[in-house]
Amino acid sequence: MGASGWEYCVPCQEDLGAALDALRQRVFEEHDYHWDPWDEDEDEAGEARGRPSTIGLLVGGRAGPGGGTHSILDMHRMVRPGESPGHGTVQPVQPAEAYRLTGTDRLTRAHVQLMEPLADRRWVGRCAVLHDAHGRPEEIRFWGFSGD
């Protein structure tokens, strides 16, 4: 199938990790991810069990070659300060990156297309706080590529 690009915007909050967790839960509950009916398990009677009841059950064993949900569900945590991004992590856009690409560190929706190249690795998401016309934090944008 190949990797799929995804993007989401959520209302701004100070804790990016909490925003990621809430977004993942929403996407899971709305079934807004790749689901192949052939992935359904069967019970002892041979009946399909349907979609998993938790995010952990859904992504367990799927994040890697031949797997993934092609959504934010493939990202499990934010990159910690000083840590290099790795498989299944989301890295916030740093002020220097924002300035290099857009000429400002107060990103807005007008800068979204300019920031696209920052998601240059599969299975590593990015996020950025977007500001309103008055320079106030308004929303958080998450984007990246995952799935195989």
Q: What is the pLDDT of residues 46-71, one digit of tens each?
A: 555 677 888 888 887 554 445 788 99
- Tell me how many degrees the CA angle 23-24-25 measures, rounded to the nearest 5: 90
Looking at residue 65, its pLDDT comes to 45
pTM of the model: 0.87
Can you tell me the distance from the alpha carbon of 19 to that of 31, in angstroms, rounded to the nearest whole number? 18
Tell whether the model's pLDDT for residue 98 goes beyond 90. yes
